[in-house]
A and B are shown apart, each in its own frame.
Chain A
Amino acid sequence: MRARTRIARKTMVLAAVAALGSGLLAGCADDGDDGGDGSSSGDTSGKTTITLGLFGTQGFKEAGLYAEYEKLNPDIKIAENVVERNENYYPALVNHLTTNSGLQDIQAVEVGNIAEVVNTQAAKLTDLSKVEGVQSSNWLDWKWKQATTKDGQTIGLGTDVGPMAICYRKDLFEQAGLPSEREEVSKLWAGSWEKFVEVGKDYQGKAPKGTTFLDSPGGLLNAIVSGESEKFYDASGEVIYKTNPAIKKAFDLTAQAAEDGLIGNQTQFQPAWDTTIANGKFAAMSCPPWMLGYIKGKSKPEAAGKWDVATSPKPGNWGGTFLAVPKSGKNADEAAKLAAWLTAPEQQAKLFAKQGSFPSAPAAYTMPQVTGAKNDMTGDSPIGTIFADAAKQIPAQVIGPKDQIIQQGLTDNGVILVTQGKSAEEAWETATKTIDNNLEK
């Protein structure tokens, strides 16, 4: 297929040169048509296929973007190759990049991995800032910087971001004697996570039996650290998670909340956790826009409209993907064009309307697909504007190459232990010991 494409292109170029040449020789004669005919027949026989390597549900295809692009560019065909979980996708991507084989024309990179890719693989990726139509001002400033190397090479274009808010169950809040109206709820904890935990204590005092304020210790820890401008690495690239007071504070606050019984001892995205969503076993959770889709997927139909979205005590970001273009690809130029198109504000807005991936392009926030967005679970809440406000307030965050390993250690080998009866001190020790062992080369 590819070989044929190249032959077709070559003939096209040859034909064009011949046509041009003969045109010049003939002195502006009209036989340029010959070349035109030749090239167009070559096109239909061999289109250029651009492949995308993705993980999870990016939703480009589902939102009809491929079809639209193929319509705009009749000589392009788009094919995607999706791996379900990033844990499986990313190691393979690193492998392919280091060996320069098995790569797709476009490769998605998760925000948790982007720093490592920027630091170690930039030489193998196309600088996308030079592609026509790409302007850094189209993206949220911090999003753009996350995929940019120190010498100013941008190797990934942001697709979505995950501005966080707090999703809560109106009915459970009411039963516990708390206000349930969005604005009032937001005021309860505005500005600090300590206040948020205090509200949790109030809730737990009068909570409906069998429910907890929050779903999981990992969720709370993640929400707090995702709003810090420095979390696990400092600006110079040193690992500081152990000495960063913000991290220890977040850990201790989460551990305290767990000890006080405000948090269910679940791990997010596991079957048992899904069941707690379906059974309405907790009252609130930090949630980016894509979480609403997840909640909807796991809920019983009667839960529709019972949720609402309040602002987060402090804005933070959870999730988001980049599209990168390996230099070694056969269609690197075409691929870069496609990546630029897929991440342009208009397309991001369409993606949000269909898939709930929140745009990383501020220009999209005023588009009707975003401002008018609704969700079954949250009734008439203007989720588009709520999340857009949150997105604009997210601080630029220093992200490091091993962020994922550190955060996973703090959650899976740390705060979760408190819900199982360990002391916060023991939990911190287990977590840091695990993390240090994993970071050591």
Chain B
Amino acid sequence: MATRHDTAAPPLKEGGAAPGRPPADAVPEADKRRRARLSRRWQRDMRWSPYAFVSPFFLLFLAFGLFPLIYTGWASLHTVEMTAPTDMEWAGLRNYTRIFDDDFFWNAAKNTLTIGIISTVPQLLMAMGIAHILNYKLRGSTFYRVMMLAPYATSIAAASLVFVLLFGRDYGMINWALNAVGFDNIDWQNDKWASQIAVSSIVIWRWTGYNALIYLAAMQAIPQDLYESAALDGANRWRQFIHVTLPSLRPTILFTVVVSTIGASQLFGEPLLFDANKGTSGGSQHQFQTLGLYLYEQGWVNQHLGRASAIAWTMFLILIVIGIVNYVISRRLRASS
């Protein structure tokens, strides 16, 4: 039964959006009780319904977010293999202490950082440039905007496979082009920096358009009169970009940096598919093995569930640290503006 707002009295003391109205005189006793009952129901409705409405997310989060998190934490304290996940043997913090002198983990962490930097920085700079150009009056601008999103919509597997062919050492198109202008073949898969650049290029190709569209949306929200007054003051396009566009985009830039950082720290599909051996070691010498890939290798290929869980939790803690650093920087920036 619907709550009858018009008869619901008396007005609430706390919360509630009921308009205050004077209590009506001479209300029969029975009617009063009925109104009180309705009012109680209404109060309950007001208080609890929102929780019901948001509950689906939290229930799903409990089932697919919190529970796995806790279970992984529990598993990380045990020696447990995927072949018998119920067969757990208490190991204490061994899985964590081991990480400290696990060369492969730190190698993966370093790779994740370097690949993250050489993919995120150029990506965001390019996205900014593209957004700036798209912000001009262009013929067919919708077409260009849709095209920007095409890489993002492409399946990562398909894209990576094409990139593997492009970056092939002997028959790849990129080396063929390099040869044509007089360079030697580059072993894109086995050379450390070359392979990291190649993996980054897949990331850049995929996400630049996405970030460009975010920047574009923010740019279009900048009031036109700011530019007009800047133009009146004699600022050229470039100065307008520096002094009007960039400051207005600050929160957006921060957002894309945070999202890209999280994305980079979880990088997995691109290096997995880029591996010539289709293995999980990120190249013969682990030259582009990221943390995500290392976690997958330990858990799913080697079936060490306990170790993989410890790696997952360590990654989680690292992400939290990155999050805090981001937060501090963003507060500083906001305070300075």
Chain A positions near chain B (C-beta within 8 angstroms): 85, 87, 91, 94-95, 98-99, 116, 120-121, 267, 269-272, 275-276, 402, 405, 408, 411-413, 416-417, 420, 430, 433-434, 437-441
Q: How far is the CA of A434 from the CA of B297 in the complex (A)?
A: 11
Is there contact, CB below 8 Å, between A430 and B84?
no
Is there contact, CB below 8 Å, between B300 and A272?
no
Q: Which of A98, A121, A402, A441 has the most CB of B within 10 A?
A: A441
Is there contact, CB below 8 Å, between A270 and B278?
yes
Which 10 pairs, one residue from A and one from B, show the smallest C-beta to C-beta distance?
A120-B83, A412-B277, A438-B302, A91-B300, A267-B277, A267-B276, A412-B279, A275-B171, A420-B190, A272-B168
Mark the stretch among B18-26, B45-53, B242-250, B280-288 that contacts chain A: B280-288
Q: How far is the CA of A413 from the CA of B301 in the complex (A)?
A: 15
B270 within 8 A of A: no
Q: How far is the CB of B17 from chain A (nearest CB, A)?
A: 49
B169 within 8 A of A: yes
Q: How far is the CB of B122 from chain A (nearest CB, A)?
A: 27
Is there contact, CB below 8 Å, between B301 and A437?
no
Chain A residues with Cβ below 8 Å from B83 are 94, 98, 116, 120-121
With CB as the reference atom, state the residue of chain B lying closest to A271. Answer: B165
| Contacts of B95-115 to chain A: CB distance below 8 A | 102-104
Is there contact, CB below 8 Å, between B301 and A270?
no
Is there contact, CB below 8 Å, between A439 and B302?
yes
**Can you list 30 A-B pairs with a CB-CB distance of less than 8 A?**
A87-B301, A91-B82, A91-B300, A98-B84, A98-B86, A99-B85, A116-B83, A120-B84, A121-B83, A270-B276, A271-B164, A276-B170, A402-B302, A412-B277, A412-B279, A412-B281, A413-B284, A413-B285, A416-B277, A417-B285, A433-B103, A434-B104, A434-B286, A437-B102, A438-B297, A439-B302, A440-B304, A441-B79, A441-B304, A441-B306
Q: How far is the CA of A437 from the CA of B281 in the complex (A)?
A: 11
Chain B residues with Cβ below 8 Å from A116 are 83
Is there contact, CB below 8 Å, between A275 and B170?
yes
Is there contact, CB below 8 Å, between A420 and B187?
yes
Q: How far is the CB of B158 from chain A (nearest CB, A)?
A: 14
Chain B residues with Cβ below 8 Å from A412 are 277, 279, 281, 284
Q: How far is the CB of A94 from chain B (nearest CB, A)?
A: 6
Chain A residues with Cβ below 8 Å from B300 are 91
Is there contact, CB below 8 Å, between A98 and B85?
yes
Q: How far is the CA of A269 from the CA of B102 in the complex (A)?
A: 31
Of the candidates B102, B285, B303, the one whose C-beta lies within 8 Å of that of A94 is B303
Q: How far is the CA of A422 from the CA of B86 in the complex (A)?
A: 43
With A87-B278, A441-B81, A441-B307: A272-B285 Cβ-Cβ less than 8 Å: no
With CB as the reference atom, state the residue of chain A lying closest to B85. Answer: A98
Of the candidates B82, B170, B278, B298, the one whose C-beta lies within 8 Å of that of A95 is B82
What is the number of residues of chain B that contact chain A, defined by CB distance less than 8 Å? 35
Chain B residues with Cβ below 8 Å from A91 are 82, 300-301, 303
Main SS at interface, chain B = loop
Is there contact, CB below 8 Å, between B284 and A98?
no
Q: How far is the CB of A34 from chain B (nearest CB, A)?
A: 50
Main SS at interface, chain A = helix
Is there contact, CB below 8 Å, between A272 and B170?
yes
Chain B residues with Cβ below 8 Å from A121 are 83
Identify 14 new A-B residue pairs, CB closer than 8 A, beyond the known A276-B170, A412-B281, A441-B306.
Answer: A95-B82, A98-B86, A116-B83, A120-B84, A275-B171, A408-B277, A408-B279, A411-B277, A413-B286, A416-B284, A420-B190, A434-B281, A437-B104, A438-B298
Chain A residues with Cβ below 8 Å from B187 are 420
Q: How far is the CA of A291 from the CA of B169 in the complex (A)?
A: 24
Q: How far is the CA of A275 from the CA of B302 in the complex (A)?
A: 31
Q: How far is the CB of A268 from chain B (nearest CB, A)?
A: 9
With CB as the reference atom, state the residue of chain A lying closest to B304. Answer: A441
With CB as the reference atom, state the residue of chain B lying closest to A99. Answer: B85
| Contacts of B217-254 to chain A: CB distance below 8 A | none
Chain B residues with Cβ below 8 Å from A413 are 281, 284-286
Chain B residues with Cβ below 8 Å from A439 are 302
Chain B residues with Cβ below 8 Å from A275 are 170-171
Chain A residues with Cβ below 8 Å from B168 are 271-272
Is there contact, CB below 8 Å, between B82 and A94?
yes
Is there contact, CB below 8 Å, between A430 and B306?
no
Q: How far is the CB of A71 from chain B (nearest CB, A)?
A: 39
Chain A residues with Cβ below 8 Å from B85 are 98-99
Is there contact, CB below 8 Å, between B284 and A430?
yes
| Contacts of B56-92 to chain A: CB distance below 8 A | 79, 81-86
Q: How far is the CA of A439 from the CA of B304 in the complex (A)?
A: 9
Is there contact, CB below 8 Å, between B301 and A405?
yes
Chain B residues with Cβ below 8 Å from A272 are 168-171, 276
Chain A residues with Cβ below 8 Å from B103 are 433
Chain A residues with Cβ below 8 Å from B284 are 412-413, 416-417, 420, 430
Chain A residues with Cβ below 8 Å from B302 are 402, 405, 438-439
Chain A residues with Cβ below 8 Å from B278 are 85, 87, 269-270
Q: How far is the CB of A354 from chain B (nearest CB, A)?
A: 28
Q: How far is the CB of A134 from chain B (nearest CB, A)?
A: 26
Q: How far is the CA of A70 from the CA of B85 in the complex (A)?
A: 38
Chain B residues with Cβ below 8 Å from A269 are 278
Chain B residues with Cβ below 8 Å from A416 are 277, 284
Q: Which of B83, B103, B165, B169 has the most CB of A within 10 A?
A: B83
Q: How far is the CA of A99 from the CA of B84 in the complex (A)?
A: 9
Q: How far is the CA of A98 from the CA of B86 in the complex (A)?
A: 9
Chain A residues with Cβ below 8 Å from B281 are 412-413, 434
Q: How far is the CA of A402 from the CA of B276 in the complex (A)?
A: 22
Q: How far is the CA of A265 from the CA of B281 in the complex (A)?
A: 18
Q: How far is the CB of A64 from chain B (nearest CB, A)?
A: 32
Chain B residues with Cβ below 8 Å from A402 are 302
Is there contact, CB below 8 Å, between B171 and A430?
no
Q: How far is the CA of A269 from the CA of B306 in the complex (A)?
A: 32
Chain A residues with Cβ below 8 Å from B79 are 441
Chain B residues with Cβ below 8 Å from A95 are 82
Chain A residues with Cβ below 8 Å from B277 are 267, 270, 408, 411-412, 416
Q: Which of B85, B168, B190, B277 has the most CB of A within 10 A?
A: B277
With CB as the reference atom, state the residue of chain A lying closest to B277. Answer: A412
